[in-house]
Amino acid sequence: SNMVNIPSIASLAGGFLSQVPLGSWSPSPNAPAAPPSSSQANYFSSAPSCPIDGPMSCHNTTVAPDSCCFIYPGGQLLQTQFWDTSPAVGPEDSWTLHGLWYVHV
């Protein structure tokens, strides 16, 4: 049929993106990558973030909506997603979300 589906879009995007350099282009594979420009370095400067050494378990008792301490009741969640246009197992016309792990301490 003529319907567009996620695997065909992913295959098309994967084929296109495999031809496009996503990092800093260097004329030689041994040459160091160029440092980020000031606009690249400041792009995420105002984005909210949490400290790397934040608590593994806590309860948000503040009125702040974006508090870093809000991991309740189970712990932190690590989500990993694989996009593979040629999977080793599984149907060729679908995709999966792989890996949802709780970190219990």
List the chain domain ranges: 56-105
> What pTM was computed for the model?
0.18
Q: What angle do CA 63, 66, 69 make, to 5 degrees?
A: 80
**Cis amide prior to 73 (ω within 30 degrees):** yes
Cα separation, 99 vs 29, in Å, equals 34
pLDDT tens for each residue of 54-99? 665 565 666 766 565 555 555 555 555 555 555 556 666 666 555 5
Residue 42 predicted with pLDDT over 50: yes
Which range, 22-26, 43-47, 80-84, is most confident? 43-47
